[in-house]
Amino acid sequence: MTDMALVTAVTLAMFGFWHAQSASTVRSRRLHGYLFFAGLGLGMLAKGPVALLLIGLPITTWAVLTYSLPRIIRSMPWLAGSAIAAIVCLPWYILAELKTPGFLEYFLIGEHWLRFTKPGWAGDLYGSAHLQPRGMIWAYLFAGMFPWTLLVGALLLKRRMNRQQEVRNTFLASHEGLYLLLWALAPALFFMLARNILWTYVLPGIPALAILVGCILATEHREKVVDALTCAGTLLTGALFAAVLLAQGTYGGVNSTKGVLDAFRQSHQGQGGLLFVGPPTYSSSYYTGGKARTFRDFESLDRFMSARVTAAGECLEGIHLAVYKREWDRLSAAQQQSMHIEGRFGDYLLVTSDWHDEADHEQDSLDTPNPIVLGPSTIDGRKQT
C-alpha cells in the first residue's frame, strides 16, 4: 500500500535534485532544492529511513564519480530544506509513538534492520517474512521492466557488436545517463544481500529505467528499429497484463481474499461465518468491512478453540476456513485429510471441517493436534455457534 507512495517520493526527490543542479537561476535552484527535501520528508513518511538510503545512495555515488560534491554542498538549501523535510514527517512519528509506545523501536530497528539482517524474522506485526535467496532482487528488477529489459538489451548488444557508437559517446556515458542508471540500480544494490524481500522493493528505480529506455530509443537513428521495438514492447506488455487480469479474475487475485470470500458467500450464504488462518491482510479487512477474524497460525487457533469447545461441551460442525496456502502446507497429511477442500483461490484455500471435543479423540496421535479454529466474529456480522 505504501510502495507507490515511496516511488512518488523518491521520484520527486530525484527530480528536484537534478534540476537544482542544472538550474540556470538561483531562484530555480532554490525551489527545486526545496522540492528535493519535500520528497525526502514524504519518503520518510511513506516508508521510513529506507527512503533516505534509496535517495542518498545514487546521489552520493553520482556526486563522487562526477566530482560534483563541492558544488552540491554549496548549492543546496540545507537548513531550510531540512526544516521542510522535518515538518513533513516528524509530527506523524511523534504522534505514533505517543499513541502506541514502542512504535519507534519496532519500526526503526525491527522493520529497518532485523527484517533485512535476520532471515525469517518473526517480529513482523503486519505481514510475513519473505525469505528469498540472496541476489533475488536482481531477478525482480529484470522482471519488473520486462519486456524492455530484453528488447533494449538486445539493441545495446547489437550496437556494441556493430561498433555503431563508441561507449564514451553514448547516452549512458553522460552525467544524466549515469544519474539515471544509478537511481535505477540503487534498490537492487541496497537489497542485494537481504533475504527478506518483496518484488515491490525494486519499484523506486522503475521510473529511472523507464526514462533510460526512452532516451536510449531516442538515440537510435533507424526509425524502423525503434518502431519495431516499441510495437513489440507494447504488445508483449499488453499480453502480460491481459494474462494477469485473467488470472486475477479466475482465482480472485494471488494475495487477495476477494476470490475466496466470493466463493464462500455463493456456496454457504446463511451458514455461519468464514474464519481466516494466516498472516493478517488489508484485503480481508477491506472485503469484510473490518469484520474478519484472523489467526496467524493453526497453533494459536488450536489453543483458542480448545478453550471454547471445553466451555461449550459440544462439537462444532461445518466450520468454514480461508486458509493461507503456506499455513496449509505446514499441516501434516493426517490434518489435511481431516478437512474438505472446496477450492483454491489465489493463495487461499476454502476449507470445511468439524471440530470435536478433545475427549472424543483420546486415542488420536498426540502429534496431530485438531486443526480447526473458530472465532466469534465473522464476515457478515453474525456469530458462529
Show the cell assigned to 220. 537510435
Whole-number pLDDT of residue 286: 83
User: Model's pTM, two decimal places?
Assistant: 0.66
Cα(173)–Cα(166) distance, rounded to whole angstroms? Answer: 10
Q: How close are the terminal C-alpha atoms of the chain, in Å?
A: 35
DSSP string, 54-104: HHHHHHHHHHHHTT-HHHHHHHS-HHHHHHHHHHHHHHHHHHHHHHSTTHH
What burial class does residue 234 get, using C-beta atoms within 10 Å of its C-beta: 0-12 exposed, 13-18 middle, 19+ buried? exposed
Identify whether the C-beta of residue 229 lies closer than 8 Å to the C-beta of residue 159: no
pLDDT mean by block of 10 residues, the chain; 385 residues:
90 96 91 96 91 94 93 93 95 91 82 66 56 83 78 71 53 80 92 80 91 80 76 82 69 69 81 79 81 83 73 71 88 86 86 66 40 37 38
> Which residues lie below 8 Å from residue 160, measured CB to CB, with a gap of 6+?
none
